[in-house]
Amino acid sequence: MQELLEYLTLKQPQINATLAAETAQLNALVQPVVSHVLTAGGKRLRPLLTLLTAATLGYTDDDIYPLACSVELLHSATLMHDDIIDDAELRRGKPAAHTQFGNTKTVLAGDVLLAQANLVVARYNDTRLTQCIAEAIVKTATGEIEEIEYLRSISHSPETYIDIIKGKTAFLLQASCIMGAVKAGGSEEQIAAASDFGMNLGIAFQIVDDALDFAVSTKSIGKPVAGDLREGKLTPPLFMYLNTLDGTKRRDFVTKFEAGTFSEEEVCFVAEQIRELGLDNATRELADTYLDKAQQALEILPACPEREILLQTLDYVKSRSA
C-alpha cells in the first residue's frame, strides 16, 4: 500500500484546502458547525476515489478538486444528521456536532452542506454529474431509513442487509468513482466499471466496518464496542453468531435483541464470543467476495499507476483495523 499512502499524503493538503475554501463560502453562522465535522479527521477516501478514477482515465487537472470534495461534503452532512438520529455522543472520537451546537443548528447546517454539495457539482455544467450526486443523496437517505426499519429485526435476509449497507455507505463511494470517470470523459463501459468498482468497494468497506465493531476497543475507533448489538443492527457477525445458537440460548438472544435489553455484561460476552469463534474474521471473508468483484471491475479500466493505487484501496479496506 506504499503508493496509496504516498498518494494520500500528496493529495490530502489540496483536498483539505478545497474543503476549507467551500466552507468559507458558507454563512458565518454555519461555518463553525461545518468545520467541526469536516476537520474531525477522516481519510478523505471519497475525494481520493474521484481523483484516482479520473487520473486512471487520464484526467489530472486541478479543477477536479471541488467535484472530488462534493461527496465529502455530502458525507459530512449525512454524518451530522445521523448523529442527531442516533443521539450519538461521539463522532470520530470528538464530541458529535449536535452535542456542541444543538440539534437545530446541526439539522440546518446539514441541510446547508447537503445543498452546497449539489451547488459545487452544478458548477461543472454537466447534468450527468448533478444527477449522480442528487441520486446518491436520495439513495443514501433512503438506505438509512431502511436500516432503521430493520432495527431489532432478526427475520430479514442477508440480502436486505446488503441493500441497507449499499444505502448507508456504498452509493456515496460509487458516486465518487462515477463522477471521476464522467469528468475524465470516460466511455460508457468505463463509467460502468468505475461505478461497479465503487459499489463493491463500498459494500466491502461497510462489511469490514461491521466486523471492526466487534473487534476493537472504544479508544481506537472513537465509539463503543459492539454498538451494532446495542442498537439492534443485525450485521454479519451477529447473523453468524445467531446461527451458532439453538434452543433456549437462541430464544433468549432473540428476545433480548428484539427488546434491546442486553446488559453491559451480556454485550461484552457476545462480543468476546464473536471474537473467539472467529466470526469477525469470517465477516472479513464475506467482504473479500465484494473486493474481488471490485478488482474485476478495475480490470476494465486502463492499466496505469493510478489504477494500481485504486487496487491498493482494496488492500486498505481488507486490512483495515480501525
Single residue of 1, 90, 108, 240 touching a copy of itself by CB under 8 A: 108
178 or 271: CB nearest a copy of itself: 178
Bridge partners, residue 270, by sequence: none
The verdict on 258 binding a copy of itself (CB under 8 A) reads no
Binding mask 60-99 toward a copy of itself (x if CB under 8 A, else -) reads ------------------x--x--xx--------------
Taking the C-alpha atoms of residue 38 and residue 76, their distance in angstroms, rounded to an integer, is 7
Taking the C-alpha atoms of residue 154 and residue 170, their distance in angstroms, rounded to an integer, is 23
Give me the least distance between CB of 91 and a copy of itself, in Å please: 16
Taking the C-alpha atoms of residue 80 and residue 248, their distance in angstroms, rounded to an integer, is 40
74 or 279: CB nearest a copy of itself: 74
Give me the least distance between CB of 73 and a copy of itself, in Å please: 11
Taking the C-alpha atoms of residue 24 and residue 120, their distance in angstroms, rounded to an integer, is 13
Single residue of 14, 99, 105, 224 touching a copy of itself by CB under 8 A: 105
Give me the least distance between CB of 78 and a copy of itself, in Å please: 8
Give me the least distance between CB of 181 and a copy of itself, in Å please: 18
Single residue of 30, 52, 182, 204 touching a copy of itself by CB under 8 A: 30
Give me the least distance between CB of 70 and a copy of itself, in Å please: 11
Taking the C-alpha atoms of residue 4 and residue 307, their distance in angstroms, rounded to an integer, is 11
Residue burial 119-158, b: 16+ Cβ < 10 Å; e: rest = bbbeebeeeebbebbbebbebbbebbebbeebeeeeeeee
112 or 310: CB nearest a copy of itself: 112
Binding mask 123-162 toward a copy of itself (x if CB under 8 A, else -) reads xxxxx--xx-xxx-xx--xx-xxx-xx-------------
Residues 6 or more apart whose Cβ sits within 8 Å of residue 270: 226, 229, 238, 241, 253, 262
Single residue of 2, 9, 13, 27 touching a copy of itself by CB under 8 A: 27
11 or 98: CB nearest a copy of itself: 98
φ/ψ of residue 55, rounded to 5: -65, -35
29 or 303: CB nearest a copy of itself: 29
Taking the C-alpha atoms of residue 82 and residue 74, their distance in angstroms, rounded to an integer, is 12
34 or 226: CB nearest a copy of itself: 34
Question: If 0-12 CB within 10 Å is exposed, 13-18 middle and 19+ buried, where does residue 19 land?
Answer: buried
22 or 209: CB nearest a copy of itself: 22
Residues 6 or more apart whose Cβ sits within 8 Å of residue 47: 11, 15, 18, 65, 68, 69, 71, 72, 176
Please give the size of the binding site for a copy of itself, defined by CB under 8 A.
43
Q: For residue 128, give the nearest of 170, 60, 182 by alpha carbon.
A: 182
Spatial contact of 274 and 281, defined as CB atoms under 8 Å apart: no
Taking the C-alpha atoms of residue 297 and residue 141, their distance in angstroms, rounded to an integer, is 26
94 or 105: CB nearest a copy of itself: 105
Contact set with a copy of itself (CB under 8 A): 26-27, 29-30, 78, 81, 84-85, 103-105, 107-112, 114-116, 118-119, 121-127, 130-131, 133-135, 137-138, 141-142, 144-146, 148-149
